[in-house]
Amino acid sequence: MRVSVIIPTHNEAWAIGRVLADLPNGLVTEVIVVDSNSTDGTPEIADRMGARVVSEKRRGYGRACLTGLACANAPDVVVFLDGDYSDRPAELPLLLAPISDGRADITLGSRLAAPQMSGALPWHAAFGNSLAAGLISLLFHQRITDLGPFRAARADVLRALALEETTYGWAVEMILKGALLGFRIVEVPVSYYPRIGKSKISGTISGTVGAAWFILSRILFYYFRLRRAGTPESA
Total domains in the fold of the chain: 1
Residue 110 forms part of a structural domain: yes
Write down the pTM of the prediction. 0.88
CATH of the domain at 53: 3.90.550.10
Residue 86 forms part of a structural domain: yes
More confident residue, 7 or 139: 7
**Predicted local distance difference test score (pLDDT) of residue 158:** 97
The string of pLDDT tens digits covering residues 52-82 is: 999 999 989 999 999 999 999 999 999 999 9
Q: How far is CA 149 from CA 48, 56, 110, 118, in A?
A: 25, 19, 9, 19
Residue 221 forms part of a structural domain: yes
Residue 45 forms part of a structural domain: yes
**Predicted local distance difference test score (pLDDT) of residue 202:** 44
Residue 147 forms part of a structural domain: yes
Residue 233 forms part of a structural domain: no
Residue 232 forms part of a structural domain: no
Give the domain range for residue 42. Answer: 3-226
Distance CA 46, CA 17 (A): 7
The string of pLDDT tens digits covering residues 202-215 is: 445 555 676 777 88
Q: What is the mean pLDDT of the chain?
A: 88
